[in-house]
Structure 1
Amino acid sequence: MTQKRRFLRHMFVSHPISDHRWLGNMSIEDLLQQLSEIRDRKAQCDRRPEWLRSFIQRVADQYEPLSLVGRIGFDCQWDERGWTVCMYMGTTEVIGGPNDGQIDHVDFRIDLQQLMNLFQSVRRVEWYSVADQQKLVTESLNVRSVLAVRGQVSNGDEIQLELLGVPPKFVRPGLKTSDAVPQPRSGEIT
């Protein structure tokens, strides 16, 4: 793996500790046990089929950050048309110094030919560039872009893949950085 591609290749999901015990009074063994239980509960609640989890991982492998490191975020929804998977590169929050609190978007690229090869057949490919009209007048240009691919994967299931240029507004930063050393967000299991 090249230096350019060194980034965390797992999905970016926040896992709050559900037990309200004071973490400072927990032994390391208790904390590890609790984290293991949370992971097990999450696995039991994950209703995504294995082929979909595998597909998401293969798509995540296509992301190549152009600077720093990044974490891939995603959301899956199922309806009568099949699965819709929305993926994006997470942001990084600067901690300390003159840029404290600044949110940095990670620049990235994706080889579209390799992405298309993940599908057995592709029915439609669309790219959307949408400006927030309300903010165009009052703030700097706010343009969001989405690449949407609809097709069949190797098992014959229909899927809609949406790759966002920036994460949704409600998603918090996936990494925090201080002195240019990215750290996982507090409360997140990696």
Structure 2
Amino acid sequence: IAKVGYQCELTSIGWEARLYLGSTEIVGGREDGQSRLISFEFDFARLTEGFTRVDEFRWNVCSATDGSTGSFVTLRGHVDDHPISLKIYSRPPRDAGPAFRQRSDGTLEEVAV
């Protein structure tokens, strides 16, 4: 189970959308307070079908210890006549908070935005 988080911003060159999967916070037990990241796969070929034109397709790799939001893919192009920059991150930003909380009995609850 995963929940997509996003941030959108109108920049001087058009819209920029940043996507990531929210983490799961463990509540109770010996792992209390720890966060688990979600593994995922993404079909980039299918994603590009939604673009009228793709100008840039780039993969940025970051170390796990640099404090960033991790590796990400940038896709820049146009949807109709609108310039779009889409970034898909391997992990959520630090200030995003958890998407779910998992209790020591295994129950999972969605965290309200």
Give, in whole Å, the separation in 1 of the partners of 2:16 and 2:52.
16
The one-letter code sitting in structure 2 at the alignment partner of 1:165 is: S
Contact 1:129 1:143 in 2 (8 A): no
Contact 1:93 1:175 in 2 (8 A): yes
State how many pairs are aligned. Answer: 112
Q: 2:20 aligns with which of 71, 80, 88?
A: 88
Q: 1:24-60, CA deviations, whole angstroms, 9 ceiling, x for partnerless residues?
A: xxxxxxxxxxxxxxxxxxxxxxxxxxxxxxxxxxxxx
Where do residues 19-168 of structure 1 align in structure 2 (5 Å cutoff)?
69-131=1-63, 135=65, 144-153=70-79, 155-168=80-93
Instruction: Looking at secondary structure, tell me which structure has more strand per residue.
Output: 2
Correspondence for 2:101: 176
Q: Percent identity?
A: 26
Give, in whole Å, the separation in 2 of the partners of 1:151 and 1:112.
14
Structure 1 runs (4+) deviating above 3 angstroms are none
Instruction: Looking at secondary structure, tell me which structure has more helix per residue.
Output: 1
Deviation at 1:131, TM superposition (A): 2.6
User: For 1:110, what is the secondary structure of its paired residue?
Assistant: coil
User: For 2:20, what is the secondary structure of its paired residue?
Assistant: strand
User: For 1:98, what is the secondary structure of its paired residue?
Assistant: coil
Give, in whole Å, the separation in 1 of the partners of 2:62 and 2:7.
20
List alignment gaps of at least 5 residues for structure 2. Answer: none
| TM-score, scaled to structure 2 | 0.89
| TM-score, scaled to structure 1 | 0.55
List alignment gaps of at least 5 residues for structure 1. Answer: 1-68, 137-141
Q: Which structure would you say has the larger RCO, counting Cα contacts within 8 Å and 6 or more residues apart?
A: 2
Q: 1:71-94, CA deviations, whole angstroms, 9 ceiling, x for partnerless residues?
A: 100000112200000000000001
Deviation at 1:172, TM superposition (A): 0.6
Deviation at 1:104, TM superposition (A): 0.3
Structure 1 residues 113 and 167, CA gap change in structure 2 (3 angstroms) = same
Deviation at 1:143, TM superposition (A): 8.1
